[in-house]
Amino acid sequence: MNKMVVNHLDKLYVTSDAATILKELEVNHPAAKIIVKATQQQEAEIGDGTNFVVSFSGELMKNAEDLLRMGLHTSNIIEGYKKAGAKAAELLQNDNFIAYKVVDVTNIEEVSRCIASCIMSKQRSYYKTITNLIAKACINVLPKVKEMFNVDNVRVAKILGLGVTDSTIVNGFVIPRNAEGNVRHVKKAVIALFNGGVDLPKTETTGTVLIDKADELVNYSKTEEALMEKAVKELADAGVNVVVSGGAIGDLAMHFLERFNMMVVKVPSKFDARRLCAAVRATPLLQLGAGIDKNKLGHCDIVTIEEIGSTKCLVFKQETDEISKLSTIVVRGSTQNILDDVERAIDDGVNVYKQMCIDGRFLAGAGASELQLCAELEKFGAEQPGLEQYSVKKYAQAFEVIPRTLAENAGFDAMKVVTNLHALHSQGKTFHGVNIDELEPIDAKELNILDHLSVKKRAIEFATNAVTTILSVDQIIMQKAAGGPKLPKQDGPMDQADEGF
């Protein structure tokens, strides 16, 4: 289910992405902050599964409260949770948990099948379109060593208009901006990228010049023109035919750049400029006229302006360079909220593809693997000799939060759904999970509802660590000034004249 979040700047977010929700909320409670940090680490390392970390952590804390009311000491709970967490990570590696293993990461159909569940959880209406786009974009930028896949090589450009199904892929780096001058297309581009604006540096001192004659006025600006022409000629002599500016471009600079037939582009975003540097292998130059080092210039096969839905877009295409090859998914949509949410779904899908390149094993989704873990850990808990068996069993029961939440969100009786699934799992049908369309359970393996092993494994580890850290705290000490209550502030005299009254 989506959440509507309004942050401190009154910006509206409509999303089900847990990482975005937690990033925009101001969490003040120190115990809750630990869980937030665990989700942030999950987002940074894996890029997906943040919702699982929050939900599972919350259920573990709730079950720990029941154990404390029963009279168990926190040390027993912590020890049991740690044992159960280690056993869960070990169980996930077993072959009877693996529902699918990717053979070829360059096969669009196979990749789409594995990413579909991740996208469906956020964009169910458009998951087929988005999944296909992600698969094509990722395969296009896959390096020869698949483990070296870089998520930054798949970019997203958001352009308002049309619908999500009209989104396309451009093999290159796309920035929704037009060129500044008249040159619109350059092949075999040599790129000079400036951090600041493209103009001659201003003098440190200011002065007044007295001009008596018209000739003096004409000659006054000639020196500046000569310096500018010399600086632009330096660029032209170095072979530069595309200039990218991070700031304003002076009129005089624009005149000479046009005269030397150079394409001029303005990229004010530092993030886009940094990404562009990586794409064309350029080093930013400080200012115009400070000399040109040819090693700092970037190279690109084609730099062109394309029109996408009445929006002029700048496209950098690398057709021969394998390492800095980029794909951009051009997302279309009717509102900015939709574009932002689709971008977040794409980000998660690309991260799952990265994990797929490292390890191709997938678990059954729809809550099936969680219920399977629940059954296995309850058996493991029964074998424990001490009081820890109670906390191991409660840890196992916490996994039920996933199928229960899925059933509740689909509008079914959660207890009935979970009980039916437990019955099926006891019969050996371990890949059966929650059907969000009908009450009858479904075979997640058959319908390709898959969760990546690394995503699930790491999420369980982070949630367990966060909860055991909170349980090991016996007191929260807030830093506050010592002393009694503050006295109300008293108004002093308005001015010296009032002091006598």
Spatial contact of 119 and 345, defined as CB atoms under 8 Å apart = yes
- Would you say residue 500 has pLDDT above 60? no
- Would you say residue 501 has pLDDT above 60? no
Retrieve residue 426's tokens: 């006891």
Give me the pLDDT at residue 170, please.
79
pLDDT band at 180 (very low <50, low <70, confident <90, very high): confident
Nearest to 381 by CA among 5, 76, 34, 13: 76
Residue 291 three-state SS? coil
Q: Name the DSSP class of 489.
A: P
The residues pairing with 86 across neighbouring beta strands, listed in sequence order, are none
> Which residues, 6+ apart, have CB-to-CB distance to 267 below 8 Å?
175, 177, 244, 245, 246, 273, 276
Nearest to 378 by CA among 60, 56, 88, 34: 88
Express each pLDDT in 437-466 by its tens digit.
777 878 878 887 888 888 888 888 899 999
Q: Which CATH architecture has domain 3-98+364-471?
A: Orthogonal Bundle (1.10)
Q: How far apart are CA 71 and CA 495, in angstroms?
A: 66
- 295 vs 458, higher pLDDT: 458
Give me the pLDDT at residue 450, please.
83
- pTM of the shown model: 0.76
Which 3-state string (H, E, C) describes 33-48?
HHHHHHHHHHHHHCCC
- Would you say residue 321 has pLDDT above 80? no
Express each pLDDT in 208-217 by its tens digit.
778 888 877 7
Q: How far apart are CA 175 and CA 54, in angstroms?
A: 35
The residues pairing with 267 across neighbouring beta strands, listed in sequence order, are none
pLDDT band at 485 (very low <50, low <70, confident <90, very high): low
263's enclosing H/E stretch is strand 263-266
pLDDT band at 364 (very low <50, low <70, confident <90, very high): confident
The tokens 């000490």 sit on which residue? 477
What percent of the chain clears pLDDT 70, i.e. is strictly above it? 93
97's enclosing H/E stretch is none
The tokens 């490292």 sit on which residue? 358
Through-space distance between the first and last CA atoms of the chain, rounded to whole angstroms: 66
Nearest to 452 by CA among 156, 195, 76, 97: 97
Query: What are φ and ψ of residue 487, in 5° steps?
Result: -75, 150
Give me the pLDDT at residue 204, please.
64
**CATH 1.10.560.10: which residues of the chain?**
3-98+364-471
Cα separations in angstroms, 380 against 329, 388, 425: 47, 11, 16
**CATH 3.50.7.10: which residues of the chain?**
173-325
Express each pLDDT in 61-117 by its tens digit.
988 888 888 888 888 888 888 888 888 888 888 888 888 888 788 888 888 888 888
Nearest to 98 by CA among 346, 300, 364: 364
Full DSSP string of 436-482: SSSSS-EETTTTT-EEEHHHHHHHHHHHHHHHHHHHT----------
Q: Write down the CATH number for the domain with range 103-154+332-359.
A: 3.30.260.10
Retrieve residue 123's tokens: 């964009």
Question: Which residue type does 24 have?
Answer: E
Q: How far apart are CA 54 and CA 462, in angstroms?
A: 10
Express each pLDDT in 219-275 by its tens digit.
777 777 777 788 888 888 888 888 888 877 877 888 888 888 888 888 887 887 888
366: left (phi over 0), alpha (psi -120 to 50) or beta: left
Q: Which CATH architecture has domain 173-325?
A: 3-Layer(bba) Sandwich (3.50)
Q: How far apart are CA 38 and CA 61, in angstroms?
A: 14
Retrieve residue 462's tokens: 């982070």
- Would you say residue 32 has pLDDT above 80? yes
- 362 vs 498, higher pLDDT: 362
Spatial contact of 404 and 59, defined as CB atoms under 8 Å apart = no
Region 8-27: mean pLDDT is: 82
Cα separations in angstroms, 59 against 19, 65, 265, 342, 405: 18, 10, 52, 29, 11
- Would you say residue 499 has pLDDT above 60? no
Retrieve residue 494's tokens: 């308005």
**CATH 3.30.260.10: which residues of the chain?**
103-154+332-359
pLDDT band at 189 (very low <50, low <70, confident <90, very high): confident
- 321 vs 111, higher pLDDT: 111
pLDDT band at 177 (very low <50, low <70, confident <90, very high): confident
Give me the pLDDT at residue 482, please.
62
Q: How far apart are CA 17 and CA 21, in angstroms?
A: 6
- Would you say residue 325 has pLDDT above 80? no
Q: Name the DSSP class of 419.
A: H
Spatial contact of 26 and 8, defined as CB atoms under 8 Å apart = yes
